[in-house]
Amino acid sequence: MFYSDLSKYAFSWVENSKLKHIFSEKNRPDIIITHNTDIAIALKYDESMTAPTIQEKGRNTYAKKLIDVGKKYNVPIVENKELANELFILVKTNQSIPYKYFTIIMLLYVKYANFYLTKKDNYFEEMFEIQRLKKHEILSLIIPERIKIEVSNNIYDIIKDKCFNINIFGFVINNIKTEENNKLENYEYNIKVNGLLVKNGKIMFTFVEPFEQLNIYLSECLKIHYKQLIGRDEIVYFISQINEKYPTLINEIIKYYSIGEIRKVLHELLDENISIQNIVTILEVMADFGNKEHKFDIILESVRKAIGRDICFPYLYDNVLKTISFEYELEKTINANFINVENVVYLNNEYVRIVHECILKATKSLKNKNIKPVLVLRTKKQEINEKCC
């Protein structure tokens, strides 16, 4: 039991009860920052918070206790003397960390707690939205000379020795060229794709360093212009990487599909903001249709089913998928107006507007909570089961 794990310590019942709550599965800290065993700061962040919060802190013997229990429950323990001391003095328990510590703590989360950045609506979440990295292999995409960042002299001095690695939609874009542009004003930058200017702006000196800001601006640009980045040459490069581990799969894919057809399937998925990180599964599904007529609507629907977990992943909150549904009578009416063409299901056009309005009303109350619910409709099989009951 938990208390027996702490039996070697002579602590009060109150302290042990507090730790039992802190290290429960739901409340467990993301990371513990320490100064030897003299100071320990337990940090926690979830969707309800505007910033990481000090969940608990301790000195001397209580710090050692936090560290030991953290190790037992596989919480990352990070030694950072200066940060631990400052947080202990300046920030109270259950209080959010100050803005000036955002960048360093963000980097610790990325390095030690396997979290990564994506964009959200408000500024902090844009900088620090954390989701656990999936276990699929991430592809590397090298695009020489296609992406260029031009910066003013004063910014170039800061970032010239740093390399951009952008992870979007499940693949990594590297080898991004950085140049100094004497015509730009102080703190100004240009982002160019295939030689064309796609974004211009100025670095704002806030709690986020210039390199991290450019990382975010660049990620957002490349999410919009990805079609200019993933051409036939890049598809060939993807295939060459996969061929090293899955030669049989690649031989079958090349036998039945052109590079243009593979590119078409990947672009369709990316158009729906679906990660192609699990590209091996995508190609496996395509291979199943290899010697048949290539009806891409059917292929895409089969791919979506196969990578359903990846599609649902961005919508999870505390590993729970939030859903909404229609009233039963409306569901029956909508269900009766689906058209099935060769296992691909379409909704009758005259009901699309009704569904759209219903979804807008249902999600309006959830907008402020930043929840992206999934719409669930009963299938005919489920209706039959309910009637039998």
Question: Best-predicted range by mean pLDDT among 142-156, 169-183, 200-214, 241-255?
Answer: 241-255
Q: How buried is residue 240: exposed, middle or buried, by Cβ count under 10 Å (0-12/13-18/19+)?
A: exposed
**Average pLDDT score, the chain:** 77
Neighbour count for residue 381 (Cβ, 10 Å): 8
pLDDT digits (tens, 9 = 90+) for 58-117: 998 889 989 988 888 889 999 988 899 999 988 998 888 887 787 778 778 777 776 544
- Quick one: pLDDT at residue 39? 93
Q: How does residue 34 score in pLDDT terms, banded at 50, 70 and 90?
A: very high
Please tell me the predicted confidence (pLDDT) of residue 84. 92
Three-state secondary-structure class, residue 150: strand
Among the listed residues 176, 175, 177, 173, the one whose alpha carbon sits nearest the alpha carbon of residue 141: 173
More confident residue, 216 or 349: 216
Output the pLDDT for position 350. Answer: 75
pLDDT in tens, 236-265: 888 888 888 889 999 999 999 999 999 999
Domains of the chain (ranges; CATH) run 2-116 (3.40.1690.10), 139-228 (3.40.30.60), 232-313 (1.10.8.540), 322-388 (no CATH)
How far, in Å, CA of 43 to CA of 57, rounded? 9
pTM, 2 dp: 0.52
pLDDT category, 42, cuts 50, 70, 90?
A: very high
- pLDDT value, residue 139: 67
| SS3 state of residue 230 | coil
- Dihedral sign from CA coordinates of 199, 161, 230, 277: negative
Residues 6+ apart with CB under 8 A from 389: none
Q: Is the pLDDT of residue 38 over 80?
A: yes
Look at 214 and 208; give whichever has higher pLDDT: 214
- Mean pLDDT of the region 336-364: 75
pLDDT of residue 342: 65
What's the pLDDT at 88? 92
- Looking from the CA of 356 toward its CB, the CA atoms found within 13 Å total 7
Of 77, 79, 92, 69, residue with least CA distance to 35: 79
Q: Please, which pLDDT band fits residue 127 given cuts at 50, 70 and 90? A: very low
For 187, counting Cβ atoms within 10 Å of its Cβ (0-12 exposed, 13-18 middle, 19+ buried), the class is: middle
Residue 43 has pLDDT above 50, yes or no: yes
CA distances, 379 to each of 80, 102, 220, 299, 328 (Å): 54, 46, 37, 21, 12
First to last CA, the chain: 43
In the chain, which ranges are continuous DSSP H helix? 2-5, 13-22, 60-72, 81-90, 102-112, 123-128, 153-159, 210-224, 232-243, 247-256, 259-271, 279-288, 296-306, 308-312, 328-336, 349-364, 380-388
Pairing mode, if any, of strands 147-151 and 177-180? parallel
Q: Is the pLDDT of residue 118 over 70?
A: no
